[in-house]
Amino acid sequence: MSTSKSSKSVPPAGEIRRSQILSTFGPGSMVDLPNSSIIIGGLNHWQFGSDRKRIYEDRLEQYLKNKLDVDDIKMYEPPSSKQDPTSGRTGITSFVFPEWVVAQIEETWKAPNGKEYRTRPLLKRSRLVRGKYLDENRKKHPVVPVRFVQACLNGHISDINWYAFVHKDLNSSCRAQLWLDEGGTGSDFADIFVRCEACKDAVGQALRRPLSDATLPNNVVLGRCEGHRPWLGPAAAESTCVVPETGKQNYNRLLVRSASNAYFSQVISVIALPEADEALRESVDQVFEDFLQYAEDVDDIKRDRKKQKVAAALEGFRDEAIWAEVNRRKNNIVPEDKTIKQVEIETLLSQPNEVGEDIPEGDFYARNLPVSGLSPILKPKIERIVLVHRLREVMAQVGFTRFEPAIPDVDGELKLNVSPAALDIDISWVPAIENKGEGIFLAFKESAINDWLSRDAVKERGIALNQGFEIWMKRKGIESSKFLFPGVPYIMLHSLSHLLITAVSLECGYSTSAIRERIYAGSSGYGILLYTGSTGSEGTLGGLVQVGKNIEKHLATALELGRLCSNDPVCAQHMPQNPHEERFLHGAACHGCLLIAETSCERRNEFLDRALVVETVGTSGAAFFLDAHQ
């Protein structure tokens, strides 16, 4: 993958992997190159050759059409970097951003209070001579992009009007040389000043302004957002930029280019599993006309299954599921729209003992592992273990945000509590990649979950976690109707998943960052899918399936890891609603026990609490595996 700073004839300015395009360096992201800083161009600036590869996944395409409100959408793999004989150079065009730079001059400036600051010229690229800053002695100096830009919650981004900032006047006509004064290490905004060398303040001192003025809450210092979208081109600005919830004018915020909140890619992933309903419908098709259309209830289904032809066609499916499909047909009921995760867990829970073909080019192949031999501690809780020998994951980027991420909910649906920025002016396709790997699926009995939820200690823990969540929402300014609490079962399964990832990584041959998770905690069932997805060979080594054959041992290791953290008792005694620690989405969870690589976690290491999994030194009675230590 390459990026080019102008036309097709220009050699690539840098290279990045396809998977990084979707996660880190997609349209609108900023990248520091050895000699400049760029912003990755939108989809309208991507050049494909004759081998443009389309990725097919019907379920994901339908979701994207609904989410993006378009009639049709396609998914294509990002272009590779090469010289195509028919269309010229392929790759991704990028644009120089920001336009303001700082000259690399080591000078000091003494403030009226006697404090000395490191100072450097702040200027536009248009004032450079052959890419260099020319000082008063005609000596050339290299420059670096300024660290600070302005952006809004809708993803728009632009250069700060530094003349307006220092003069506190959006219409200032002064164009004298500006200087960036930095005290200390240069990381404290209150110790960074912009100074105009020609102007004086009211008391006759050099006119300067601290950068911290641009960081105050509800600040209008940087002016109204003008909808600039430099990644889509110089003439792609939106006419208006308003806050979605209120419709009021949006204002710019200070943004550090290299900060972790400068770019949050919105990626939706789907496991390409055979849909359970599709297999059921095909089976019912074989015997509906001759037998099943006359059924009046589930008892009739049971009687019909005594017939050899019916029994052969419906083998592996529950009577209740068959009757639901028959009743739907007889009453012309339109099949309900299912969420991404709902389809996946229904398939994993309803599949017969073996699904798919074990062939190298296959997308899905799985076998059930008998649970009859599980220990008395696990057998009442675990409903099914599935060894997924082959699976295919498709990931597509639908947009991006700045300042705040938009995270899929417990059903895999993207809740746009933060407005996404556009990847293209008129969206007709999105970038996507497909990975193949393997996995383990653990399903938990609904009755065990319900019994656990009925405990008073679990209810109390749930109230505390929900209180922390409510405080977090208020701090973020998010309305509760747009972002719902995931629930105590989700937090428990999510925490167990992290412990299990750490436990299996010790023997499966994969690093913890190479194992990913999908948590299922909805009306369709409860489960954990640990899987690998890699464009290289690491995703299909067979290690996870081998681990799954001895999953009881690894579950025991995971539970042991959760009982005691190296930061206990501080970690175990943390309460989510504690306003002093600013960890409102965590219970007993920290880097010493539950936090793993964010590439592995589906919720950015949030909504975790090991006290819901096992007994800890800080909480008693809330553990799902309450008797695991006995």
Q: What is the pLDDT of residues 271-285, one digit of tens each?
A: 887 765 667 777 888
Mean local confidence (pLDDT), 124-134: 90
To the nearest whole percent, how much of the chain has pLDDT over 70? 89
Q: Which residue has the higher pLDDT, 412 or 618?
A: 618
How far CA 369 is from CA of 233, 272, 318, 496, 546, in Å, comes to 54, 21, 19, 20, 12
Backbone φ, ψ for residue 620 (5° rounding): -130, 140
Provide, for the chain, the percentages of residues in helix, strand and coil under a 3-state DSSP scheme, each rounded to the nearest 5. Answer: 25, 25, 50
**pLDDT of 43 strictly over 70:** yes
Encoding tokens for residue 264? 């949050």
Mean local confidence (pLDDT), 148-173: 92
pLDDT at 624: 95
Mean local confidence (pLDDT), 392-408: 86
CA proximity to 424, closest of 89, 32, 26, 49: 26
**pLDDT of 211 strictly over 60:** yes
pLDDT band at 466 (very low <50, low <70, confident <90, very high): very high
Q: Which residue has the higher pLDDT, 271 or 184?
A: 271
Listed ranges 10-19, 121-130, 186-195; the one with the highest mean pLDDT: 121-130
pLDDT band at 373 (very low <50, low <70, confident <90, very high): confident
User: Letter for the amino acid at 475?
Assistant: R
pLDDT at 28: 94
Grouping H, G, I as helix, E, B as strand and the rest as coil, residue 274 is coil
What distance in Å separates the CA atoms of residue 353 and residue 236, rounded to the nearest whole number?
54
The CB density around residue 509, as the number of other CB atoms within 10 Å, is 15
Q: Which residue has the higher pLDDT, 167 or 6?
A: 167
pLDDT at 9: 46
**pLDDT of 596 strictly over 90:** yes
What distance in Å separates the CA atoms of residue 466 and residue 37, rounded to the nearest whole number?
42
Q: What is the DSSP letter of 536?
A: S
Q: Which residue has the higher pLDDT, 478 or 345?
A: 345
**pLDDT of 564 strictly over 90:** yes
**pLDDT of 560 strictly over 80:** yes
**pLDDT of 230 strictly over 90:** yes
DSSP notation for 2-45:
EEESSSTTSPPSEE--HHHHHHTS-TT-EEE-SS-EEEE--GGG
Using an 8 Å Cβ cutoff, are 394 and 269 in contact? yes
Grouping H, G, I as helix, E, B as strand and the rest as coil, residue 105 is coil
pLDDT at 163: 94
Q: Comparing 213-217, 247-251, 355-359, 382-386, which segment has the lowest mean pLDDT?
A: 355-359
pLDDT at 542: 67
**Residues contacting residue 628 through CB under 8 Å, at least 6 positions apart:** 377, 556, 559, 614
pLDDT band at 7 (very low <50, low <70, confident <90, very high): very low
Interaxial angle between packed helices 58-68 and 340-350, expressed in degrees from 0 to 180 and rounded to the nearest 10:
160
DSSP notation for 439-500:
EEEEEE-HHHHHHHHTSHHHHHHHHHHHHHHHHHHHHHT--GGGS----HHHHHHHHHHHHH
pLDDT at 480: 61
Per-residue pLDDT tens for 45-98? 998 877 788 898 888 888 888 888 888 899 999 987 766 556 566 788 889 999
Listed ranges 30-39, 306-315, 606-615; the one with the highest mean pLDDT: 606-615
pLDDT at 4: 53
Long-range contacts of 472-478 (CB under 8 A, 24+ apart): 472/584, 472/585, 475/584, 476/404, 478/417
Q: What's the number of CA atoms in the CB half-sphere (13 Å) around residue 302?
A: 4
Q: What is the DSSP letter of 155?
A: S
Backbone φ, ψ for residue 176 (5° rounding): -70, 165
The CB density around residue 220, as the number of other CB atoms within 10 Å, is 10
pLDDT at 538: 47
pLDDT at 443: 95
Q: Comparing 27-36, 196-205, 329-338, 382-391, which segment has the lowest mean pLDDT?
A: 329-338
**pLDDT of 537 strictly over 50:** no
pLDDT at 450: 95
**pLDDT of 422 strictly over 50:** yes
